[in-house]
Structure 1
Amino acid sequence: MAYGGAASVPAAAASGSSAMKQVKLDKESELRIEVNVNTSLRLRLLNGTAEIFGTEMPPENWLTFPPRMKFAIFTWHGATIEMQDNTETDYVADETPMISYVNVHAVLEGRRNRAKAAASDTDASQGPRVIVVGPTDSGKSTLSRMLLSWAAKQGWKPTFVDLDIGQGSITIPGCIAASPIEMPIDSVEGIPFDMPLVYFYGNSNPTHNADLYRVLVKELAQILERQFAGNAESRAAGMVINTMGFIDGLGYELLLHAIDTFQATVVLVLGQDKLCSMLKEALKQKPNVDVVKLQKSGGVVSRNQKFRLNSRSQRIREYFYGLSNDLSPHSSTANLSDLAIFKIGGGPQAPASALPIGAQPVADRMRLVPVTNHSELVNQVLAVSFAKEQDQILSSNIAGFIWVTDVDASRKKITYLAPSSGELPSKYLLAGNITWIDT
């Protein structure tokens, strides 16, 4: 699972496709940019120092940003940016919450140092476990990236945990995942896809099967706990956990579940007083948990439903083709008899005849249901489980994904696209409601 890299473009090539302009940034200001929906954007740092999502920009190197991307270039001391004059929107802002964000980083840095100095078999050796919460479009993913990149710049290897099934920062939407961050996150490519730990939920909405969501969150947390137990460095570095923008009702319950399951020690609340107050009240019996409200950036842009759907589609396309269309996925055909395809959840726990009089059968949210109507799989993204036996599927993470392009019911054949050629790691596949059409 890997993205393509940011393109390094010679100055002559960069300046040839459209008019160029220079933007001068004063200290502690930022250039906020929305890339055009149809064209990419190329820019470079001419002088001074600046960063994107907490990662320093390389001087004089041209960077190419894909269509629709939204980001900000921040400078602590002043900088000049040269860029194509073809953005959807770009403007300079001199009021940002970056000072408060970097102050949080400094506090976390102190806790990591204290954890590193403590004996490895004591509770004090656990570094900060930070969970970032807030409503939709409050900047949670951006703040998470900044905290991770700043930590990596100091030599730490924090673990990034992404619980946002709606968008997906580590892998495709419909999953929860975790990955160690060993260096500042690339401004264009995003989170590296080398060896993520991924669990397939199969939907972008947690209300579809909240019980399954809780089970997968618990599985992921338990695996990370075992990894931390044997790695003092990762334990001291701690983790940064990104969450969904679903914060009311069931969403709030799932937030509390995540805080408890991952044993979070710092809760960063972006942009909502009510949520901050509710969490402080709910967590007041846990003195080792700090709830901190932070201002959301004025550069955060509200995204409508159409934009979110397009973003999900783009994430799936990037998985198979790369960020710059530089990957070559492989088409294969397999016998349906050689595969075992399941959905999770559905079907009654017991037949009505076996229930007490008047009781109604209740769906078993954890039940594995074989997919029998294979035609419905066309255009679905299926997860390939690492499970070797059927009873291991719920507790097993995901090796990768395939996209079903055709099902021949008469010949009982399935044609699919995979990131690489060769046999699938397992015959066990999971279906959900993640579909994609290659346009």
Structure 2
Amino acid sequence: MAYGGPSTNSAAMSSASSQLKQVTLDKESELRIEVSNNAPLRLRVLNGTAEIFGSELPPEIWLTFPPRLKFAVFTWYGATIEMDGPTETDYTADETPMVSYVNVHAILDARRRRAKDSSSNDSESSQGPRVIVVGPTDSGKSTLAKMLLSWAAKRGSKPTFVDLDVGQGSITIPGCIAASPIEMPIDPVEGIPLDMSLVYYYGHTTPSNNVELYKALVKELAQVLEKQISRNAESQASGMVINTMGWIEGVGYELLLHAIETFSVSVVLVLGQEKLFSMLKDVLKTKGNVDVVKLQRSGGVVSRNVKVRQKSRSYRIREYFYGLTNDLSPHAHTSDFNHIQVYRIGGGPQAPRSALPIGSDPVSNPLRIAPVNIDRDLLHTVLAISYAQEPDQIISSNVAGFVYVTEVDVQRKKITYLAPSAGELPGRLLIVGTLTWLET
């Protein structure tokens, strides 16, 4: 976490004193903040207690939040907050759904306790709650998921966070589905740690690009997690919290049902959508072990247009290589074409026409692993480094990380890419999708 410590350089403070601001919050109210696009914001709790995304803030210690970050500081009993730096917006609100959110947490916590007690008796009821958060775009799904995870960790549980939102990416870059064990309340600045994450590369920012691949990766992730959790009684009793995309109609709705079934979900939390709640309540009523709960969306949620979403994705990719505050130093590498192999998933004929019934036309195979020529079409693409040893293992293998292609010299057969660290790549098989980035 970006701590500045309670003692601060007095000269620096005096030069920015005009931007110092104190805000007093009443109990069960929050300060909603959008950090400036051009400068970071420092914030601390002067007195009382407050939290961000369910994680309690340390008293009297400055935290530094990077530009463009949006968050809310909530207090249960009252607090005084001090800010140092510019904001795009900041205002207080006393109408929040936090009481209903924490009530849900209390019910989930009780189920985790029962599951933990049952695990010592080898009971079948040792499985903790598996919670999925669903709702339309910009309804606060990822924020609620973080709160539930942090509150659970604060109570001593170790739930697994599963992120199925390929459009934004709460764990790693967009274009991925991923999972990570949560052992401590989530850092309000740095977010979810990557060091223990399990990541599969889908390669696109919407499931509509390749629905069958999306479903296959969701199933693969669920199967791997099932094996891991079954060997760990604490993880099993702690359960899961699953974040989803905002596509909730048509195929998007079918993908939500697919996720609910694939992860054996026991609790569905529906944010801000009466129609979706009614549909899920109706279709899941035959499953007596699934609770569908409707919750109010937070008033602090801001609707984002396509351009804002694209910028957000770009910031997430940049953060992967350079860090939140440009504190990382990525390395440029140049490799011969024959040292790596690039593959794309999907496209191409599923079977030759001669192998099909008479009158049938060949259709594309969404799970086909196709080699890609290394040329200038790869410029500015983000490639995933697969752990697969052979091409036919790519879909069933998670990825080690990502590189960004900065130059392709076809004549010299050299490719230059940016990587988070020095040294050889952990694998020679790379995956390309439609995810691109223009470094600025």
Shift of 1:373: 4.8
Shift of 1:117: 0.4
Q: Distance in 2 between matches of 1:49 and 1:407?
A: 53
5+ residue gaps in structure 1?
none
User: More displaced, 416-425 or 167-176?
Assistant: 416-425
Q: Distance in 1 between matches of 2:15 and 2:223?
A: 53
Shift of 1:344: 0.1
User: More displaced, 9-18 or 260-269?
Assistant: 9-18
Map Cα deviations across residues 113-158 of structure 1 (whole Å, 9 max, x no partner): 0000003543200000000000000000000000000011111111
5 Å matches for 1:121-132?
121-132=122-133
5 Å matches for 1:97-108?
97-108=97-108
Counterpart residue number, 2:44: 44
Percent of residue pairs bearing the same amino acid type: 69
Shift of 1:16: 3.1
Q: Aligned to 1:420, what secondary structure does the other structure show?
A: coil
Q: Aligned to 1:148, what secondary structure does the other structure show?
A: helix
Counterpart residue number, 1:116: 116
Question: In the alignment, is the contact (CA less than 8 A) between 1:379 and 1:435 conserved in 2?
Answer: yes
Q: Could you tell me which amino acid in structure 2 is paired with residue 6 of structure 1?
A: A
Corresponding position: 1:392 with 2:393: yes
C-alpha spacing 1:14/1:209, structure 2 compared with 1 (3 Å): farther
Shift of 1:326: 0.6
Counterpart residue number, 1:276: 277
Q: Could you tell me which amino acid in structure 2 is paired with residue 37 of structure 1?
A: N
Question: In the alignment, is the contact (CA less than 8 A) between 1:160 and 1:179 conserved in 2?
Answer: yes
Corresponding position: 1:8 with 2:9: no
C-alpha spacing 1:252/1:20, structure 2 compared with 1 (3 Å): same
Question: In the alignment, is the contact (CA less than 8 A) between 1:14 and 1:42 conserved in 2?
Answer: no
Question: In the alignment, is the contact (CA less than 8 A) between 1:15 and 1:84 conserved in 2?
Answer: no
Give TM-score, length-normalised by structure 2: 0.97
Question: In the alignment, is the contact (CA less than 8 A) between 1:14 and 1:62 conserved in 2?
Answer: no
Q: Distance in 1 between matches of 2:146 and 2:278?
A: 25
Q: Aligned to 1:117, what secondary structure does the other structure show?
A: helix
Question: In the alignment, is the contact (CA less than 8 A) between 2:176 and 2:201 conserved in 1?
Answer: yes
Question: In the alignment, is the contact (CA less than 8 A) between 2:335 and 2:415 conserved in 1?
Answer: yes
Q: Distance in 1 between matches of 2:134 and 2:259?
A: 11
Shift of 1:14: 4.7
Shift of 1:353: 3.9
Shift of 1:7: 4.3
Corresponding position: 1:75 with 2:46: no
C-alpha spacing 1:126/1:14, structure 2 compared with 1 (3 Å): farther
Q: Aligned to 2:334, what secondary structure does the other structure show?
A: strand
5 Å matches for 1:280-429?
280-429=281-430
Question: In the alignment, is the contact (CA less than 8 A) between 1:163 and 1:177 conserved in 2?
Answer: yes
Q: Could you tell me which amino acid in structure 1 is paired with residue 160 of structure 2?
A: T
Q: Could you tell me which amino acid in structure 2 is paired with residue 298 of structure 1?
A: G
Question: In the alignment, is the contact (CA less than 8 A) between 2:40 and 2:85 conserved in 1?
Answer: no
Q: Distance in 1 between matches of 2:105 and 2:209?
A: 36
Q: Aligned to 1:118, what secondary structure does the other structure show?
A: helix
Q: Could you tell me which amino acid in structure 2 is paired with residue 419 of structure 1?
A: P
Shift of 1:342: 0.2
C-alpha spacing 1:80/1:393, structure 2 compared with 1 (3 Å): same
Q: Aligned to 2:241, what secondary structure does the other structure show?
A: strand
Q: Distance in 2 between matches of 1:220 and 1:64?
A: 34
Q: Could you tell me which amino acid in structure 2 is paired with residue 35 of structure 1?
A: V
Q: Aligned to 2:80, what secondary structure does the other structure show?
A: strand
Counterpart residue number, 1:236: 237
Q: Distance in 2 between matches of 1:87 and 1:141?
A: 22
5+ residue gaps in structure 2?
none
Counterpart residue number, 1:21: 21
Map Cα deviations across residues 352-384 of structure 1 (whole Å, 9 max, x no partner): 344333322100100011101521111111000
User: More displaced, 304-313 or 353-362?
Assistant: 353-362
Shift of 1:19: 1.9
Q: Distance in 1 between matches of 2:123 and 2:414?
A: 55
Q: Distance in 2 between matches of 1:313 and 1:137?
A: 18
Q: Distance in 2 between matches of 1:288 and 1:189?
A: 36
Q: Distance in 1 between matches of 2:2 and 2:119?
A: 41
Map Cα deviations across residues 186-228 of structure 1 (whole Å, 9 max, x no partner): 1111111112100000000100000000000000000000011
Q: Could you tell me which amino acid in structure 1 is paired with residue 384 of structure 2?
A: A
Question: In the alignment, is the contact (CA less than 8 A) between 2:337 and 2:374 conserved in 1?
Answer: no
Q: Across the two proteins, how many residue pairs are aligned to each other? A: 435
Question: In the alignment, is the contact (CA less than 8 A) between 2:167 and 2:245 conserved in 1?
Answer: yes
Q: Could you tell me which amino acid in structure 1 is paired with residue 286 of structure 2?
A: Q
Q: Distance in 1 between matches of 2:28 and 2:20?
A: 24
Map Cα deviations across residues 54-82 of structure 1 (whole Å, 9 max, x no partner): 00011111111111111111100000011
Q: Aligned to 2:73, what secondary structure does the other structure show?
A: strand
Question: In the alignment, is the contact (CA less than 8 A) between 1:137 and 1:245 conserved in 2?
Answer: yes
Question: In the alignment, is the contact (CA less than 8 A) between 2:369 and 2:392 conserved in 1?
Answer: no
Map Cα deviations across residues 285-312 of structure 1 (whole Å, 9 max, x no partner): 1100000000000011101111111110
Q: Could you tell me which amino acid in structure 2 is paired with residue 182 of structure 1?
A: E
Map Cα deviations across residues 27-47 of structure 1 (whole Å, 9 max, x no partner): 011111111122211111000
Map Cα deviations across residues 73-100 of structure 1 (whole Å, 9 max, x no partner): 1100000011136211111111100000
Q: Distance in 2 between matches of 1:321 and 1:394?
A: 28
Q: Distance in 1 between matches of 2:4 and 2:65?
A: 11
Give TM-score, length-normalised by structure 1: 0.97
Q: Distance in 2 between matches of 1:373 and 1:347?
A: 18
Q: Aligned to 1:434, what secondary structure does the other structure show?
A: strand
5 Å matches for 1:141-152?
141-152=142-153
Q: Distance in 2 between matches of 1:373 and 1:188?
A: 38
Counterpart residue number, 1:35: 35
RMSD: 1.2
Question: In the alignment, is the contact (CA less than 8 A) between 2:175 and 2:202 conserved in 1?
Answer: yes
Q: Distance in 2 between matches of 1:306 and 1:14?
A: 36
User: More displaced, 326-335 or 246-255?
Assistant: 326-335
Q: Aligned to 1:264, what secondary structure does the other structure show?
A: coil
Counterpart residue number, 1:437: 438
C-alpha spacing 1:364/1:14, structure 2 compared with 1 (3 Å): farther
Q: Distance in 2 between matches of 1:77 and 1:259?
A: 36
